[in-house]
Amino acid sequence: MSTSAVPSVLFVCVHNAGRSQMAAAFLTHLGADRVRVRSAGSAPADTVNPAVVEAMQEVGIDISAETPKVLTAEAVQASDVVITMGCGDACPYFPGKRYLDWQLDDPAGQGVAAVRPIRDEIEQRIRGLLAELGVESAR
């Protein structure tokens, strides 16, 4: 498959410590090398939410080495699809990109029990996104 045939998706939330990290991890896990994945935050936290790391570990995905990244214009420009998650006006808009806004509860300050349903909803949305992009799920 040529590089240009591989869709690129950017997940954005404010802190890049919860929802966008889970979404990026699921898309990387399920899309394998058939999709390029980025995540970033408009005001990145210092670390990924520990409850998010634990919840993802429960489904066999290790994101303990991930770190929140700052949103750049370059990341947006390099992406075919930009998915925002509750960052409102803090998320920039660039013409010519496909935008989706996923309304999801914020896992910040929540324990792993509260993160699990958010994680599961994100996984289902990622599976739907893969189908929409015409990318077969690896699992």
Active site residues: 13, 87, 91
Neighbouring-strand partners of residue 13: 41
87, two tokens: 């960052």
- What residues form DSSP beta bridges with 37? 9
The answer to whether the beta carbons of residues 123 and 61 sit under 8 Å apart is no
Token representation of residue 7: 């869709």
Q: Which residue's structure tokens are 């997940």?
A: 11
Please state, in angstroms and rounded to a whole number, the distance separating the CA atoms of residues 53 and 55. Answer: 6
